[in-house]
Amino acid sequence: MKVLLLHQHFKTPYKGGAIRSYYLAKALVDRGIDVTVITGHNDPYTKENIDGIDVLYLSVPYDNSYGAARRIQSFLRFANKATALAKSLTQVDLCYAISVPLTVGLVALRLKRKFGIPFVFEVGDLWPEAPIQLGFINNYFVKRSLYALEKRIYNAAESVVALSPAIKLEITKKTPGKVVHMLPNMADTDFFRKERIKKDDKFVVSYIGALGIANGLDFFIACANAARKASLPIHFILCGAGAEKKRLENLVNSTKLENITILDFANREGVREVLKVTDAALISYKPVPILETGSPNKFFDALAAGKLVVINFDGWIKEEIESARCGISVDAYDPSDFVRKIKPFINDPALLERYQNNGRALAESKYSRSILSEQFASIIKGTRAAAQPL
């Protein structure tokens, strides 16, 4: 069996970034399935074999600092180049197309129409709803076109993989009767371990990930300011890259906050090192409803590393951490709420330890890479079997 995996932003553990698609490809390769990945990067075209995965890198530049026009240009360029390259491949049994962006689905649609290749479509963020709610897409006709494309992709797919219960619910509303699997991001409980390297008496709160508009990281800085005013022994670490980084650095400097360290984007090893000195991992979003449906990698890394989870949004993750007693939810509009709710964990190490252990247990029992890799392989094998002509 040969699977073509389409993902414009495919990353590996060796270069950093979100590596879910690497985990998925590796899960198939480990079970004897041939996998070819078509992705993009900022360098000339090349191909590599990475841990048994054939990866074809198209020269399609993209960066989180890009504005809307450059992003759209990159998305469309990848869709066209990936289609042309995929047509040259032979004996592809199944295509697995990963959004975002939604335009990756165009490639899968074209391959199905021309060659009859069935496909599964993965939805990590609801597009176009997310960029619309964030104010990036305002043109009425563009909205209509993107909604139509979204529905067309769902209908044409053999099945859809949703990364959260909330995303699954929204897709089933749009396409009743469609098979929608729920397969969240993975917690790598082998790579991340529950450990804490304490260099001083500070309680460390870290944010690791994209520094974009959607992340609402003014809140992180406001929490640092509120903690300083309350004389709490907290040090904050902001680690990542993105369009907002320079502005956030300027904001920290202008407010003369000495309890924040800003670090550059880290690869997987770097993420682990930051988590080793962390007590609580903060996950932040702007207060936009659609963002509550997501499945952020940083949540699963924090669970695997046994860290207290702090979030500032509602939704399924809030329900999960409250049920498992592994984290707290704070008011995105009120940094003093963060101060009030984090205090008990600073003052009571046993309480902190209990919540951290609960998080690690949740990672091992529900979100571990081994469990979800097996589920994913079953989805792919089942889809291929169902799509085969009698």
pLDDT digits (tens, 9 = 90+) for 126-168: 999 999 999 999 999 999 999 999 999 999 999 999 999 999 9
Strands (E), 93-202: 94-99, 119-123, 159-162, 180-182
Domains 2-186+368-387 and 203-366 equal at CATH topology level: yes
Rounded to whole angstroms, the Cα distance separating 294 from 134 reads 14
**Residue written as token pair 């360098």:** 43
Q: Which helix (H) or strand (E) holds 254?
A: helix 245-254
Q: What is the dihedral of CA 236, 240, 246, 252, to 10 degrees?
A: 0
Give the HSE-up count for residue 34: Cα atoms under 13 Å, Cβ half-sphere: 8
- What percentage of the chain has pLDDT greater than the value 70? 99
Residues of the chain short of pLDDT 50, as ranges, are: 390
C-beta separation of 390 from 38 below 8 A? no
Give me the residue spans of the domains in the chain. Answer: 2-186+368-387, 203-366
| pLDDT of 390 | 39
Q: What is the DSSP letter of 327?
A: E
Is the omega angle on the peptide bond into residue 101 within 30 degrees of 0, that is, cis? yes
| pLDDT of 274 | 96
Q: Which two tokens stand for residue 276?
A: 């080793």
C-beta separation of 297 from 18 below 8 A? yes
> What CATH code would you report for 203-366?
3.40.50.2000
| pLDDT of 389 | 52
C-beta separation of 5 from 24 below 8 A? yes
CATH (one of 3.40.50.2000, 1.10.240.10, 3.30.465.10, 3.40.920.10) for 2-186+368-387: 3.40.50.2000
The CB density around residue 116, as the number of other CB atoms within 10 Å, is: 9
- pTM comes to 0.93
Query: In angstroms, how far is the first alpha carbon of the chain from the final one?
Result: 17
| Helices and strands (H and E) in the chain: how many | 14, 14
Please, is 258 exposed, middle or buried when counting C-beta atoms within 10 Å of its C-beta (0-12, 13-18, 19+)? exposed
**Residue written as token pair 């209509």:** 144
Rounded to whole angstroms, the Cα distance separating 116 from 155 reads 15
Q: Which helix (H) or strand (E) holds 155?
A: helix 140-156
Rounded to whole angstroms, the Cα distance separating 333 from 103 reads 34
User: In 3D, which of 193, 154, 188, 152 has the Cα closest to residue 171?
Assistant: 154
| pLDDT of 141 | 95
The CB density around residue 349, as the number of other CB atoms within 10 Å, is: 11
